[in-house]
Amino acid sequence: MNNKILVVDDSESSIEILVELLGSDYDVLVALDGETAIEIANEDKPKIILLDIVMPEINGFEVCQRLKGSVCTKDIPIIFITAKSDEESIEMAYDLGGIDYVTKPFKSKELLARVKTQIELKNLITSLEYLSSHDTMTGILNRRKFFELAALNFNKKIEKQYSVMIDIDRFKNINDLFGHHMGDTVIKKIVNAIDSHVKEDTLFARLGGEEFVLFGQYDSKDSIYDEIEFIRKKIEDLEIYEDKGAKISVTISCGISFYNDKFTSIDELLKDADEALYEAKGQGRNKSIIRNS
């Protein structure tokens, strides 16, 4: 777990005090100027930043503004810790995105409590964001988050996009014959098999029940077909056994669609892939069908 705190202050004595105070509980990173702080924040993604205001070259306000203006660092909580106690500075700190404001000289226990509170809030928000965007059983994207991300990517009008609709063949029979707990096991093993093979930047989601989707970019159409066929055969070869030792045979059907100018939305691309999936089902299942080329 990320346990890093970035302390930014041009005073070495202040740095030493904070490192001594926080070092037993956190991995403390330090920066003596604003530019270094921004570099460290982008590279190490600390859990929280303690930021002084009065510094040479660029002050804490500008550092905060630049961090909050970057996609990579905008969500890192910033606590201003400074000798400035005037209302204008405090107001400016919060307006720029600071989450708390501590004046020097600070009380050690109070600062530790504030840091702990903000880290707990950050962890809670991260956890809630994960739960709201991922399927609870499999850990892959859920339907809502998939459509959000896929629509964003689709709207960039990148030509080499593809989508694959995947359905577990005769999944109801598995549930009926072996129980829903074995059905859940089958789903998890299939997801693991797919997830271990697709590219890291490919969107992979569970749309519901036994239906899944892939969305990404391809180097060549043949390579995508070969990849999906590899996955299909890999799943066909899975060794899954029910409680009494009998092997459960599992296959998937896949429908593949590639982007072209006729598609005006992600929904149309997915519909085309779904029609290819329907063809695969109609041709006996355990097949990969390309709808268009």
- Residues labelled catalytic: 210
Handedness of CA 13, 18, 23, 26 (dihedral sign): negative
**Residue 145: which H helix or E strand, with range?**
helix 143-154
With a CB cutoff of 8 Å and minimum separation 6, the contacts of 202 are: 214, 215, 216
With a CB cutoff of 8 Å and minimum separation 6, the contacts of 227 are: 197, 198
Please state, as a whole number, how many other Cβ atoms lie within 10 Å of the Cβ of residue 244. Answer: 6
Q: Which residue has tokens 């190490």?
A: 44
Cis before 105? omega within 30: yes
